[in-house]
Homo-oligomer: A and B are copies of this chain.
Amino acid sequence: MQARSTKLMKAPKRKARAKTGVRMPRAERREQILTHAADFFAEYGLTGQTRELATACGISQRLLYRFFPTKAALQAEVYARTILGPFEGAWLGNLTDRKLPIKQRLTDFYGNYYDKVLTRRWLRLFLYSSLAEGDMAPNYISAILVQLLETIVDEACFELKLEPPGEQDFKRELGWNLHGTISHLAIRRHIYHGPHTVPHARMIKAHVTSFVAGLPVVLEESNPPNGE
């Protein structure tokens, strides 16, 4: 089909070039690519093709390689921004502000976490990455999460006048009760495309309530009267 044979043809004919769409300063274009790439790979997975990504960006495929040496390098930067980025900053925020009731602190925190972190883009990218490899930078994430989980349990125990579990691992697992439920709420919405009839804010509140109400019972049950 293609005349790619002879190789002698000088081909003096010039094909009409695409009219160089919009010309952009380097930094801005780079930014635009990264933004589109985040959405693109989140939707189609890390195996999504560079040609399709370029089309989504409205540029030629070649131009991608003017900014990133390889596809993997581009994905690494997307990951760093989209996944790692939102985790930084003062996440624990007012979670430790003991002037506020724990239920309100948790509801506020997870309302924010759900909106800012557990987005479609974040979740899908995170899952695609987690599935593809053992890790990409899970240490960083898990370090922050461990901190979060312990804080949650400690703060809840403080308000409830309970002794937090001595076992670190078990304490974290208790935190996962709430964190897992809310993460799964987002997974159902963004990955499984489940119905979303009940507003998530209402369910976050309900899950926080259940967590705080269940904690004393779980602690008592797992920590029999006859001290260890």
Whole-angstrom distance between the alpha carbons of A221 and B195 in the complex? 23
**A55 interfacial by beta-carbon distance below 8 Å:** no
The count of identical subunits is 2
> Are B210 and A214 in touch, CB under 8 angstroms?
yes
Chain B residues with Cβ under 8 A from A193's Cβ?
130, 134-135, 138
Interface size (A, Cβ < 8 Å)?
A: 50
Q: Mark A213-228, 1 if CB is under 8 A from B, else 0.
A: 1111110011000000
Given A176-B181, A210-B215, CB of A191 within 8 Å of CB of B131: yes
Listed in ascending order, the chain A residues whose CB lies under 8 Å from chain B are 45, 47, 124, 127-128, 130-132, 134-135, 138, 142, 167, 169-170, 173-174, 176-177, 179-181, 183-185, 187-188, 191-195, 197-198, 202-203, 206-207, 209-218, 221-222
